Amino acid sequence: MLVPYLLKWPVPPQAISGALALGAFLALLVYFRHDWASIISSGLQVIIFRKRPMTLDERMPIFILISTIPAVVAWYYLHESFYNYGSRPLFTALMLIVFSVPLWFSDSMSKKTKGMFDWNWFDSILVGLGEIFLLVTGGGRTLGAVSAGLIRNYSRETATKFAFFVAAPIIAGSAFRHLQSVDFHASMPATGTSWFTFIVTIVVTFLAALLAIGGLMRHVQRKGFGQYIVYRFLLATVVIVVFWVRSGKLF
C-alpha cells in the first residue's frame, strides 16, 4: 500500500497482488528448498507408515500447522478491518513504529541459546500469535513471529527461519485468493494488465524476494535487527512527512 501512495500510483488489481504473493511464495520455496524437501518427505512417511513423529523434520509440519491456525482464524474474522485500516497511510506509519518496539526489546533481552532442534508446540503457539500481525499493514511479513521466537530465547537465525516457514502457507493462501479473480483463458489477467506484465511481476518479485530473504538471513546473523528497525522508523517518518505536505495536517 505504501509504494502506490508515495509514488501516486493506482492501487494494483487483484491479479497483480496475486502475482506479487506468488513470486514471494516461490522465493520461499526455492531458498529453503532443502528444508522443504526434508520436511515434506518426512511428513509423508509419518502419514503413509502411520508412525509417531519423532525427528524434527517429522514434527515440523505439525509445528507449522499450529503456528498457521491463529493467523488464518484472525484473517477470516478480521480481514475487512485489517484492510480498511491498512489503507490509511498514517495508520501504516504508526504500525511501522509500534511493531518495531517488541522486536527491539526481544532482540535485546533474548539469550539466543536455543536452536531449531529445541522447537516445541508451545513455541509454535506463541509464534502463531505473533504471526497474526503479518495481516496488519506495517506489521511486517515475519516481524511478530520473529519477536515471539526471540522472546523464547531462540537464536536470530532460528527465529527468522521458522517465521519464514510459517509465512509460506499464509502467503500461498493469499496468492490463491487473489488469483481466483484471474481467468487464465482470457486475453488479459485483469483490465489494463497484460499477461506480459503479469509474468514479469512474478519473475521480478521472485528474484527480489530471493535476494531479500538471503540478505536478511545473512544480515541478522552478523548484525541483528538494529538496521532493520532504523529503516522502519525512517520509512514511517517519510510517510508522515508526505501525508503532512499533501494534506496540510497530520490528523
Q: Is 125 helix (H, G, I), strand (E, B) or coil?
A: helix
Positions of the chain with pLDDT lower than 50, given as ranges: none
> CA triplet 112, 115, 116: central angle to 5 degrees?
140
Residue 137 to residue 139: CA distance in whole angstroms: 5
The answer to whether residues 178 and 24 touch, using CB atoms and an 8 Å cutoff, is: no
Residue 6 to residue 235: CA distance in whole angstroms: 11
Give 150-190 pLDDT, tens digit per residue: 999 999 999 999 999 999 998 999 899 889 988 888 888 88
What's the pLDDT score for residue 242? 87
Residue 142 to residue 159: CA distance in whole angstroms: 10
Mean pLDDT of the chain: 87
Q: What's the DSSP call for residue 120? A: -
What's the pLDDT score for residue 172? 93
What's the pLDDT score for residue 223? 86
